[in-house]
Amino acid sequence: MSKDRWTEILGYLADAATDVDLDPDAKRRLESPSKVLEVSVPVRMDDGSLEVFTGWRVHHDTTRGPGKGGIRFHPDVDVREVTALAAEMTFKTAVMNLPFGGAKGGVRCDPTLLSLGELERLTRRYTWEIMPLLGPDRDVPAPDVNTDGRVMAWLMDTVSMARGEAITSSVTGKPLAIGGTAEHAGGTAAGVVMCTRDVFEELGLPIVGRRAVVQGFGKVGGPLAFLLHSAGMRVVAVSDVRGAVTNEGGLDVAGLSDYAALHGTVAGYPGGEPIDAADVFGVECELVIPAALDGAIDADVARRIGAQVIVEAANGPTTAEGDAVLHDRGIVVVPDILANAGGVTSSYFEWAQNRQGIAWLDGVAAERLHHTMHDAFAEVWAFSQTHKLSLRRAAYAIAVERVGEAMSVRGLFP
């Protein structure tokens, strides 16, 4: 996360406040997180030594419902990053019209250097420290960077043991054995493809045969490449942190996936020509999907992008300066708070099923995800066309208006 991402979020908020004539008091409330909890996380390491990590859980705003947002383990995470991510969740859940607010958490650590036992002890102690904020009606975490269903299971078990009851709805992205859902893992990628179909349709571009570039080949980018290929697109370039490959005729996505699983990278895949990972955005195509970490598309990269459309699968992949360049070039950008919201929408469905105590029939969640994503895209597209705004600015305007309305009807305590 770029260190000025919080400043960028405040800029998007200021623009949106102007676009919808937001009450100044609501704007002032949204300019500061409602809760910031910093915790010390002592962990007994396998060799008997003690390490003390620092963690955070931030509630940006919970006017519309419990806090919702992932937990990331990363050596560079800090409170400013977590605050920015929490704010993005406030606006993401609002643009999707979900009954959640925005939250985010993180621990500054390098999980690749931890054993499985150390990772579990870190997770459980961090959960214990942020326990006052957690609960199905308070704050519902989910996986994020370097966390997964296993970590969520430890988190859910820690909350349940502390409170003396099984609380499956205290977290989403869990394993199926403890109330998780099959649809959750692929929700983000599925939502990105739905937005891709919708934006191509609005622009009058047939999706079959069009060229796509995917930056990032992890738990979102990997499934995305497969789904785009299945939709009839040619995936002409893919990158990860170690390199990139390109093939004008289209990469064999299944073969690439097998190769990456075996070698831990797409670099060196024999079915494509090697290129530098930094050059992947310059590959000529119709669609670019940034699906890695934030800040990948700055002003310099934005000037080199050879696509007509960008659909943001990652959180904050485009800087404010890069976004301005893309807008000036006429490149259509479907923003992250809309495009990658299939993940949090699938989380909502998991949470709802846990609260109801009954699993939905097969296909129900997928159908509801389709309708929810399509309706949200249609609202944002219509707002952008009516008010002559970019899709990003339109999405923030809709989100800010909804949060502002909730603040207005709830009033201010005391």
CA dist 182 and 184 (Å) reads: 6
- The DSSP-derived string for 338-367 is HHTTHHHHHHHHHHHHHHHTSPPPTTHHHH
Using an 8 Å Cβ cutoff, are 304 and 11 in contact? no
Helix, strand, coil percent content, the chain, rounded in steps of 5: 50, 20, 35
Beta strand 332-334 pairing with 309-311: parallel
Identify which of 371, 381, 304, 406 has the alpha carbon closest to the alpha carbon of residue 94. 406
SS (H, E, C) 17-62: HHHHCCCHHHHHHHCCCCEEEEEEEEEECCCCCEEEEEEEEEEEEC
Using an 8 Å Cβ cutoff, are 295 and 6 in contact? no
Q: 């994020």: which residue's tokens?
A: 144
Using an 8 Å Cβ cutoff, are 148 and 175 in contact? no
CA dist 336 and 195 (Å) reads: 11
Beta strand 234-240 pairing with 67-74: unpaired
> Cis omega before residue 42 (within 30°)?
no
Query: What are the residue numbers of the active site?
Result: 104
**Residues in a beta bridge with 374:** none
